[in-house]
Structure 1
Amino acid sequence: MAMDERLDGLASRYYVKALELARIAGDELTFCTTLRGMSVMHGDLGDGPTASRLAQSASAASPKAGPRMRAFLAGQEAHAAAITGDRSLALLRIKQAEAAMEKAESQAKALGSYDPSALHYHISQVRYELGDMAGAIESMQQSHQIREPAFRRTRVRYGGMLAERKFKAGRFEEAFADWHRMLDEYPLIQSGRADDRFREMKTLIQPYLGNRGARELHERTMPVS
């Protein structure tokens, strides 16, 4: 919750305490999941080397993990490696995540766990960091299409990211439509990271207010602002 609200210092303290408690309890699953969460936070902050180190530590801390957990960890390793520009490691880990997910999906599915939608998100992030904008958009679109309806905050955040990438690729009308869908649900959630996407949308469209679609979005955000 602290991380989602962009209270990164507080989130770090909670993460460190979670590691301590997990170590005392001998809880391998919580220990490696916490390391992965720390990696996600540092990746969001643009600290690729720390994100990569933490992601690798998370994988090393769970040698007996099942296929879904391996996909969960390898996906984050891939994203962190891509942030640092390590293309070969990023592609290797994403292939491992895909293989593990395929095996996991052939078994009983655990509700709320790492799923194909989350994997497509990681593939999108890897493609984006490695400069493949078209591929990043395609994978994020796939992730969005199969995401469970219950995950509203995730849908708002990642929907905003999808719109941003389409906008930067010159696919304005698609971006406007995605942003409108984001705004349908944005007032219903509380999330600092979703707020980031809202602010980024306003920044991107500001120079284009002569465009009818951008102007309509801008006018719609006025009551929200």
Structure 2
Amino acid sequence: MAAVKECQWSYDACAAAVRAVAREHNDDLSSCDRSHVGHWVGGVRPSAQTQRYLAEAISRRLGYVVHPTDLGFSTGGSLEPDLGGLDWWKHDPATDLLTVGRADLERRAFGLTALYSLAALAVPLDSWQEIAERGRRAQGGDVAVGRSEIAAVRDMLAVFGKADERFGGGHARLAVVQYLTSDVAGYLRGSFSSDADRRAMFSAAAEMTYLAGWKAFDSSLHGLAQRYYVQSLRLANEADDRALAGFTLRAMAHQAVDLGHGQEALELASSSLEWSKGRATPAATALFTILTARGHAATSDSARTSSAISAAETHLSNASPEDEPMWIRTSGFTETSLASQAGQALRDLGDLPGAERQLRRSIATRNAETYRRIHTLTLANLADVQCTQGRLSEAAENWNHAMDAMAGVKSGRAHSAVTNIRTRLSSLGPRLPTFAKRLDQRAADCLRTA
């Protein structure tokens, strides 16, 4: 296989790269080794999903998108060639939103098999104006769209957004996608009485598409989440809503850092600040800035991490909640959320006492019932930090609180937090104290019934 040779990989290195991509998608390919790569090079076809892992691993190595078909594999009629490259900037966003949404609704396996692509993170910020102009020329459907339709979309956003924070991304995820592909996509193709109405509808559609992406991210469907995020960016660009585009770039940075791509996370967070400069409110700027702290921490830059945390706190202190956009108010970004992100940044740097202070601050100031999912995750993060410091009894108490809080929450991230409990406890060996054994059993039962 010429592409493997072009990567200048040994067979062992190729197998390791494929295993790394698989891990991002919660797929255990620990058995994949150099002998498998040798078989592939010799003409043996791996499974369809392994073909995608291999193509993504090669894409990351070479710096451009490689599809399974480029490696000589047949797609068997899959939509993946159309969706895998994310090179949709030449199409109008309403069409591409429909393509992704319908694949999500009609092909159950699509959300599970869509891969997270590092190549797709290089969004063409410098050419968005020309892309937006093409979109404006493409408008002109038969449906008349005005203020009442815009208000309807925003009302639905408020309902879906509140439910998401309380019950998790797995709750009503497909209902959001169904609404996007029916009502919202129809509005985007409609006719508008003014450019202001057109921008307002595209902005509302961008927020709804962001929510679809966030719900997929929270459900650990990372490739699918990325596809919705890219479409949200395009719609925000059509609306000339740079602050909202920054909000989505920040979400992409959050996803990247969670998946272990620190440098890419830093670049995305920095882009969110650059793209929204002069347009973002103080709280929005604080949110974008705290994600740069996560990126700096992931790249082991302690000085810039501390500076970014301080800058974010200063921006937030200048915010007036009533003047912030709805997407800031709905997501509940306040001192509480900033402290949670700061705690994770300090944890990644290895400053465990500092991380614990910030996470405790977040837990103490959060409305736990309204924001049940993030409260669950923050408790789990605090417990993990305490366990790392050797304080197992305190960690167990907070892990139990986290499982109490997650009752009724459908979230892949919460599920991963419970899996982590068992992983951490198993690393301590068989001679666990009784309270830890009870916790391990509770975590096992929780995973079994999830």
TM-score (norm 1): 0.93
Structure 1 gap segments, 5+ residues each: none
Is contact 1:208-1:214 (8 Å) kept?
no
1:121 pairs with 2:334: no
Following the alignment from structure 1 to structure 2, what is the Cα–Cα distance between the partners of residues 71 and 87? 19
Query: Greater CA radius of gyration, 1 or 2?
Result: 2
Following the alignment from structure 2 to structure 1, what is the Cα–Cα distance between the partners of residues 235 and 334? 27
1:78 pairs with 2:298: no
Q: Secondary structure at the match of 1:50?
A: helix
The superposition leaves residues 75-126 of structure 1 with CA deviations (integer Å, 9 ceiling, x where unpaired) of 111111111112222222111101111222xx34564442001111122122
Match of 1:34 among 231, 237, 248: 248
Aligned Cα root-mean-square deviation (Å): 1.5
Is contact 1:71-1:97 (8 Å) kept?
yes
Following the alignment from structure 2 to structure 1, what is the Cα–Cα distance between the partners of residues 226 and 272? 16
Following the alignment from structure 2 to structure 1, what is the Cα–Cα distance between the partners of residues 344 and 441? 31
Is contact 1:78-1:94 (8 Å) kept?
yes
Partner of 1:219: 441
The superposition leaves residues 183-223 of structure 1 with CA deviations (integer Å, 9 ceiling, x where unpaired) of 11323110001111000001111335531110121232343
Bigger drift between 56-65 and 208-217 goes to 208-217
Structure 2 gap segments, 5+ residues each: 1-214
Amino acid in the other structure paired with 1:223:
D
Q: How does 1:136-147 map to 2 (within 5 A)?
A: 136-147=355-366
Q: Secondary structure at the match of 2:425?
A: helix
Amino acid in the other structure paired with 1:55:
A
Partner of 2:260: 46
1:191 pairs with 2:406: no
Q: Secondary structure at the match of 1:26?
A: coil
Amino acid in the other structure paired with 2:342:
I
Greater RCO between the two (CA within 8 Å, min separation 6)?
Answer: 1
Match of 2:374 among 150, 154, 162: 154
Is contact 2:421-2:440 (8 Å) kept?
no
Following the alignment from structure 2 to structure 1, what is the Cα–Cα distance between the partners of residues 378 and 296? 20
Bigger drift between 194-203 and 57-66 goes to 57-66
Number of aligned pairs? 223
Bigger drift between 33-42 and 200-209 goes to 200-209
Report % sequence identity: 30
Q: Secondary structure at the match of 2:407?
A: helix
Q: Classify 1:16/1:208 alpha carbon distance in 2 versus 1 (closer, same or farther; 3 Å).
A: same
Q: Classify 1:126/1:221 alpha carbon distance in 2 versus 1 (closer, same or farther; 3 Å).
A: closer
Partner of 2:218: 4
Q: Secondary structure at the match of 1:123?
A: helix
1:13 pairs with 2:232: no
1:92 pairs with 2:273: no
Q: Return the structure number with greater helix share.
A: 1
Q: Classify 1:221/1:90 alpha carbon distance in 2 versus 1 (closer, same or farther; 3 Å).
A: closer
Amino acid in the other structure paired with 1:28:
R
The superposition leaves residues 112-164 of structure 1 with CA deviations (integer Å, 9 ceiling, x where unpaired) of 44200111112212211222111111111111111122110111112111111
Q: Secondary structure at the match of 1:114?
A: coil
